[in-house]
Amino acid sequence: MTATTVPATSAPGTTVPEAPVLEAVDVTKHFAVRSAVGARSVVRAVEGGTLALHRGRVVALVGESGSGKTTLARLLAGFYAPTSGEIRLEGTPVRRRRGRVERGYHRDVQLIFQDPFGSLNPLHRVRHNLERPLRLHHAVRGRAELDRRVRELLERVALTPVEQYVDKFPHELSGGQRQRVVIARALAVEPKVLLGDEPISMLDVSIRLEMLNLLDRLRSEDGLALLYITHDIASARYLCDDIVVMYAGEMVEGGPKEQVIAAPQHPYTRLLVESSPDPGRGARDREALFDADADSLGEPPSLIDPPAGCRFHPRCPFAMDVCRTQAPPRTDLGGGRWARCWLHPEGRAGELDRPGTDAGTDAGPVAEHATDRTTQENQ
Amino acid sequence: MVTRTVHESDRTDTDLTDTDLTGARSASGAVLEVTGLAVEYVTDGDPVRACADVTFTLRRGEILGVAGESGSGKSTLITALTRLQRPPAVTTAGSIVFHPRDGGPAVDLVTASPRTLRALRWTSLSIVLQSAMDALNPVMRLGAQFADVLRTHDRSLSRDAAWTRAAELLATVGISGDRVRSYPHELSGGMRQRASIALALACRPELVVMDEPTTAVDVVMQRQILAQVLRLRRTLGFAVVFVTHDLSLLLELADRIAIMYAGRVVELGTAQEIYDEPRHPYTRGLRDSFPPLRAPLRRLTGIPGTPPDLRRPPSGCPFHPRCAARFDGCDTHLPGLVAAGGHAVACRLHDPAATGRPADTGQQDRAARPDRTAGPEGGAR
C-alpha cells in the first residue's frame, strides 16, 4: 500500500502527444512603477516565460516569493496583458479588446487565489456565489436547474451533505471549506484549465492534503489541465507531473518532478531543494543541515535592476565570467528536461552532482558536529 | 478565576510533576519549568480556554519545538510565557518558574512583579516575533534600537560603545556592520528578521522564545536564519522555545517537540521519537500531512475534519471527533499527559486502564495505526 505512487501520472519523460490546452510562449511582463520622488522605473516581473499545460496533467511552478510565479499565473488567466510574447489557448493566440480578454476566455481558464477569505463575496451565501458563474457563463436560468447544478458542484468538491453548506455565508465556513467553495465556483464554468496560485498555503496543515487530493481527482477524473503554484517543493512533488522552477522572473529549470528534485540541473534548484525541510532526512543530521555556510547564500536580486547575464550569478557557487555578462541559453537535456545555466553549454554540468558547498550533503561534518553537540550538552 | 475540573488537576499533579517527564530532575538543569498552565480569554459568555494544563520543562541550551495548527493555543502559550499577554487573555492557573543561570532565586513569571519582569526581559528572556517589520521600530535606525536595549540594561555603556556593539551584533547574523544606520524598511524581509534575532540576543538571554520566526521568509532564507540561530546557540548557550505550524521543520531543528491540539500538549518527545514512533493519533496525522521530499510517495490523507472551535470544545478528548482510532469512552474521558521514558502522550490508547490491557507498546502501536494497516482511506487507487 505504501508503495503506491500518488498521482495517476503518465510515465515521466514521455512526450505528450496531445497539443497543449494553454501555453505561454516567451511572455514578458514589465510593470512601470514610480518611486516617491517621481523617478520612473520598470519592474521586470517575468521575462521569457514559456510554459505548456496539457489535459490531465499538473505542472508545478515553484520559486521564492517575488520570483514572478503569481504574475505568470495572472498572465495565463488573462488578467494582465503580456508586454511581449503571447498566450495561446488551444493553439489560438488570445485576443484582447480594450485591454481585456473576452468573457469566453474565462469560461476555459479559471484562477484560484491563495486567500479563500478574500476571494468569496462575504455578503452572499454559498449558493449565490456558485449560481453567479452559472448564470453569466452558461445562461442557466430556472430554479430547479440552478439547484441541481449547485448541488452537483458542491458534491464534486466533497462539501456534503449539501444542505449543510449551500445556505451558509463564507464567514461561517472554515478555511478549507471556503477554499472548496472557491474551487467549486471555478468549476462552475466548466473550465479546461485551472490555475492554482498557492491554493493551500493559507490552510491548516492537516487539511492541506485533502485539498491536494481534491485537485488530483479533478485532474484525473475530469481531465483538467492544472497549474499548481507553490513555494513548497514537497507538496509540488506530491501533486504534479512536471516542475518548472522560477528565479527572479525567469524560468531556470524544468522537467519531470522526480528527476528535477533528485538531480537538479541548475544551481538555484539545488539550493532550493537542499533548503527545503524534509522530515525523512532525520533529526540526527541537524547540525550538518543547518551548518551551511549561511552568510554566503545571498538574497534574490531586485527586479528593477536585475544583475546582467544570469540573474542567479551573484549567489551562484559556480559563477564564471560568461555568467556575469550573458544570459544563459536554454539547454535541452532530453526526456523533457531543460535548464538555463552556462554549466551545460560549458560542459561543466557534472559539478552539479557533487556534494554542495552550501549545504552539507556529505557525511563528513555530521560526526564532527555530533561530537560538538554532545560536548555542549554535557556542559 | 474559573475552577478547573477535578480530574484535570488530578492528572497534573499525579502524572506529571512527580514522574521523570522531561529528564530534567534537578532544577539546575532546567531553565524554565511550566506546570499546569491555563490561559483563558474572558468573553461575555463562557471563558474560552486557549491553553489548558500545559506542563513541560525546558533544559538549559535546549531547543523545544511547539507545533500545532492555528487555534491550537501555541501563540497564547508564548504570550503567557513571556507575560506579553493582554486582556482578554488571563492566566488562570499554573506556574512558569524561571531559573536564572547565576543560581539566583527562581522566579515565577506568572506572579512576578512588573519590576522583576523588567529586569529579566532582554537579559534573561527575550522574544523573536513572526513579523520583524512589526517588531522593529520603523522610525528608528537599527543602531538606535540596539543602543536603546543595550544601554537600558548596562548603564555604564556609552552611546558610541553601544553603536559599535550593535554593529558587532549585526555581524553575528551576517548583516554588514554599516547597516546600523539603516532604517528597518531599507532592509529585506530576511535581513529584518535576522536583525530582530540579533536584537533578541543583544543582552545574552538564557531563553529566547521564537514565534514562527521564519514563516514570512523563503525556504532558502529560512535555512540561513536557522543556521545562524544554531551557530549562535552553540557559542552563547541559550535555550529556545520555537513555535511553528511546520512540523517538518521542527523535526530537523528541535531537540524535543511538544505537539499542541486544542490548547493542550498532546504529545511530548524527542524529534526522533515524534518522527519515528508518534503515539498520539493526531501527531501521526500531522506527521503524515507533510509529503516527503525524497522518500517514495504514497497517498496521504491528512486529518479529516477541522480543528475544534474552542468556544465549544468537544467533550472528552478534544481530538476524538477527528480520530480514526477512537473507542468507547474517548468522547467522555479527557486523557492526561502520561510519561513513559521521557516520551509523554495524552491519549487513552496508551492508558492501560482505558484500553483494558497492559501497557505494551507494540500492541498499542498496532492499535493506534489504523492508517497504516487497515485504514479506511489508506489505499490508493
pLDDT in tens, B42-66: 888 888 888 999 999 999 999 999 9
More confident residue, A370 or A52: A52
Question: Average pLDDT over chain A, rounded to whole?
Answer: 82
Q: Within this chain, do residues A69 and A186 fall inside the same structural domain, yes or no? A: yes
Residue A270 counted as domain residue: yes
**B377/B381 Cα distance (integer angstroms):** 10
Judge whether A215 and A230 are in contact, CB under 8 Å: no
* Nearest alpha carbon to residue A85 among A43, A45, A29, A26: A26
Listed in sequence order, the residues at least 6 apart from B42 whose beta carbon sits closer than 8 Å to its beta carbon are: B87, B88, B90
Residue A16 counted as domain residue: no
Which of the residues B72, B243, B293 would you substitute to probe the A interface, choosing the one with the greatest number of A C-beta atoms within 10 Å? B293
Alpha helices by DSSP H, listed for B173-277, are: 189-200, 219-236, 247-253, 271-276
Residue A338: per-residue pLDDT: 94
CB burial class (10 A; 0-12, 13-18, 19+) of residue A129?
A: buried
**B354/B249 Cα distance (integer angstroms):** 34
Q: Is residue A260 over pLDDT 90?
A: yes
Residue A75: per-residue pLDDT: 93
Q: Is residue B358 over pLDDT 80?
A: no
Q: Within this chain, do residues A231 and A269 fall inside the same structural domain, yes or no? A: no
> Smallest Cβ distance to A299: which of B190, B222, B285?
B190
Q: Within this chain, do residues A65 and A163 fall inside the same structural domain, yes or no? A: yes
Q: Within this chain, do residues A27 and A130 fall inside the same structural domain, yes or no? A: yes
Residue A338 counted as domain residue: yes
Q: Within this chain, do residues A204 and A59 fall inside the same structural domain, yes or no? A: yes
Across the range A78-102, mean pLDDT stands at 88
- CA-nearest residue to B297 within chain A is A5
Q: Is residue A363 over pLDDT 60?
A: no
Residue B150: per-residue pLDDT: 92
Which of the residues B272, B290, B309, B322 would you substitute to probe the A interface, choosing the one with the greatest number of A C-beta atoms within 10 Å? B290
Residue A72: per-residue pLDDT: 93
Q: Within this chain, do residues A74 and A150 fall inside the same structural domain, yes or no? A: yes
Listed in sequence order, the residues at least 6 apart from B356 whose beta carbon sits closer than 8 Å to its beta carbon are: none
Q: Within this chain, do residues A63 and A207 fall inside the same structural domain, yes or no? A: yes
Q: Is residue A298 over pLDDT 80?
A: no
Say if A288 is an interface residue toward chain B (CB within 8 Å): no
Residue A252 counted as domain residue: no
More confident residue, A294 or B196: B196
Give the minimum alpha-carbon distance from B276 to chain A in angstroms, rounded to a whole number. Answer: 9
Residue A140 counted as domain residue: yes
pLDDT interval class at B375 (50, 70, 90): very low
Residue A135 counted as domain residue: yes
Q: What is the pLDDT of residues B127-158, one digit of tens each?
A: 998 887 778 999 999 999 999 999 988 889 99
Q: Within this chain, do residues A174 and A34 fall inside the same structural domain, yes or no? A: yes
What total of structural domains would you count in chain A? 2
Q: Within this chain, do residues A274 and A145 fall inside the same structural domain, yes or no? A: no
Residue A229: per-residue pLDDT: 94
Residue A247 counted as domain residue: no
Lowest mean pLDDT among A45-54, B85-94, B161-170, B371-380: B371-380
> Smallest Cβ distance to A272: which of B220, B248, B251?
B220
Which of the residues A1, A165, A171 would you substitute to probe the B interface, choosing the one with the greatest number of B C-beta atoms within 10 Å? A1
**B91/B42 Cα distance (integer angstroms):** 10
The CATH number of the domain where A108 resides is what? 3.40.50.300
Q: Within this chain, do residues A169 and A278 fall inside the same structural domain, yes or no? A: no
Domain that holds residue A303: 263-378
Say if A190 is an interface residue toward chain B (CB within 8 Å): no
Q: Within this chain, do residues A46 and A175 fall inside the same structural domain, yes or no? A: yes
**A352/B293 Cα distance (integer angstroms):** 19
Q: Within this chain, do residues A217 and A285 fall inside the same structural domain, yes or no? A: no
Residue A221 counted as domain residue: yes
Q: Please, which residues 37-66 of chain A have a Cβ atom closer than 8 Å to chain B? A: 64-65
Cα–Cα separations (whole angstroms), residue B236 to A201, A289, B226:
35, 20, 15
ipTM of the complex: 0.78
Judge whether A84 and A28 are in contact, CB under 8 Å: yes
* Nearest alpha carbon to residue B335 among B356, B350, B357, B314: B350
Q: Is residue A252 over pLDDT 50?
A: yes
